[in-house]
Homo-oligomer: A and B are copies of this chain.
Amino acid sequence: MSKTLLALKPFRPDQLTQLATQYPTLTVITPETLKPSDVDTINILYGYRQGTKRHSDLLNQLLASDSSQLQWIQSLSAGVDSLPFEALAAKHILVTTASGTHENSIAQNVLGYLLYFERGLQQAIQAQAQRHYGIDTTKVSNLDDKTILIFGTGHVGQKIAQIAAAFGMHVLGVSHSGRPKAGFETIATDQDYQPLLAKADYLVNIMPLTAETTHFFDKAFFDQLTTQPLFVNVGRGPSVDETALISALDKVQIKAAALDVFETEPLPLESPLWNYPNVLITPHTSGYVAHFKKAFFKIFEPNLAQFMKDGTLIRNQVDLSRRY
C-alpha cells in the first residue's frame, strides 16, 4: 500500500536511494516542498522533535484535521514526555522513539564523568593551567570495586551497566517494575530502592520523565544519602529538584555532580550550578552521536519494513498510556 512520509529530519542521499529501491510505494516529501494540500496525505512523520514549535504546530494541525492520514510518528529523541499523548491514543497513532541511537554516547559520557572526577583529571586540568606538576593523590580513586546505582534500566541504563561491569564495578538498578535486566546484580522498584543507596558510590539518573519521576530527586531523596556519592543526571532535567540538589551540594550529601540536563534549558545564566567547583556541566550533549543520521535510520528502517507490510512496528514503540 502506498504511503507518504514527511522527512522532518532530512535523509542522507544514500538513504533516499535505499528507500526508493526497497519501498517503491513510499513517497518521501520534505517540509520545504510541502504543499498545504499534501498535509492530509502524510502517513509518517520522520524525525519529530518535541519542543520544536514548527513540529508541534504541524502535529496539532494533523490531530485537528478529520481527514488526516497520520499513522506513525518517529521521534528524533529517545525520550518523549511532552507529546499530546491522549489525542494520539484516541486516534491510534503509533509513536516510536530513537531509543538505541544514543545509548553508546550517553554511556560513554557517564564513564567520562566518573573518570574525570575519580582519576584526578579535574585536578590535573586545574594544575596544568598553573603549570603545576602535582595533584592531591589522596583524592584519586579507581572505579573497580565501586558500586553504581542506575535509576532507569532501559536501553541506555543497560549499556551503562555493561560498560560499568567491564570496569569491575558492582551494578545495581532501580526501575518502575523492578524486573531483572541483563547486567544488573539487583534491581529494586522506585518504591523500595532505599536500601541500595547506602551501597552506592555513584548515582546515575536515566529514567524517562513521567509524573512519577518529576522531582524524584528531591530534598527527601538527598536527605537519605549517607555515603556522599557522585550524582549524574543524563535523563531529564525536571527529574531533579535543582534547589534540593544545590542544597545537597552545600551539605555535602553528594560529593560532586555531573549534569547534562536541567530544569530549564539552556541552564540560566543566574543558576548557582555554574559556579560549583565540584559540578561538571555538559549542555545536553551526552546523547550526541557523530553519525546521527546513520544511527537514527538504523533504528527506523526495520520498523519501516514491518510497517509497509502490515502497518505494525517491531521495536521502540511508546506505550501511550505509560507515556514511555
Chain A residues within 8 Å of B, Cβ to Cβ: 104-105, 108-109, 111-113, 115-116, 118-121, 124-125, 127-128, 131, 133-135, 137, 140-144, 162-163, 166-168, 265-267, 269, 274, 280-283, 285-286, 288-290
In the bound complex, do residue B108 and residue A140 qualify as a contact, i.e. CB atoms below 8 Å apart? no
- Whole-angstrom CA separation of A206 from B92 in the bound complex: 58
Once the chains bind, are B282 and A121 in contact (CB under 8 Å)?
yes
User: Can you tell how many copies of this chain the complex includes?
Assistant: 2
A-B contacts, 13 listed (Cβ < 8 Å): A104-B143, A108-B144, A109-B115, A112-B119, A116-B121, A121-B280, A124-B282, A127-B283, A131-B274, A133-B281, A135-B283, A140-B285, A166-B167
A127 to B269, CA, bound (A): 12
Complexed CA–CA distance, A105 and B118 (Å): 10
A89 → chain B closest CB, angstroms = 34
Q: A285 to chain B: which residues have CB within 8 Å?
A: 119-120, 124, 135, 137, 140
Once bound together, how far apart are the Cα atoms of A178 and B162, in whole Å?
Answer: 30
Which B residues lie within 8 Å of A124 (CB)?
A: 280-283, 285
Which residue of the partner chain, among B108, B118, B131, B288, contacts A115 with CB atoms under 8 Å?
Answer: B108
A137 touches B167 (CB 8 A): no
List B contacts of A128 (CB < 8 A).
274, 280-281
Please, which residues of chain B bring their CB within 8 A of the CB of A289?
A: 142
Q: Is the CB of A290 within 8 A of B140?
A: yes
Chain B residues within an 8 Å CB radius of A144: 104, 108
User: Chain B residues near A290 (CB, 8 Å)?
Assistant: 140-142
A262 to B303 alpha-carbon distance, docked (Å): 53
CB <8 Å contact, A112 and B121: yes
CB distance from A283 to the nearest CB of B (A): 5
**Which residues of B lie under 8 Å from residue A142 when comparing CB positions?**
104-105, 108, 289-290
Tell me the bound Cα distance from A133 to B290 in angstroms: 19
Given contacts A108-B142, A167-B108, A168-B104, contact A283 B116 (CB under 8 A): no
In contact, B108 and A119 (Cβ under 8 angstroms): yes
**Residues from chain B with Cβ under 8 Å of A111 in the complex:** 111, 115
Q: How far is the CA of A120 from the CA of B322 in the complex (A)?
A: 34
In the A-B complex, the 4 residue pairs with the smallest Cβ-Cβ separation, listed nearest first, are A112-B115, A166-B166, A133-B266, A124-B282
* B residues less than 8 Å from A166 (CB atoms): 162-163, 166-167
Q: Which residues of B contact A163 (CB under 8 A)?
A: 166-167
Q: Give me 18 other A-B pairs in contact (C-beta within 8 A), A116-B121, A124-B283, A141-B290 excluded.
A: A104-B168, A108-B144, A113-B121, A115-B115, A116-B116, A119-B286, A120-B282, A120-B285, A124-B282, A127-B281, A131-B274, A133-B267, A133-B283, A135-B282, A140-B285, A140-B288, A140-B290, A166-B167
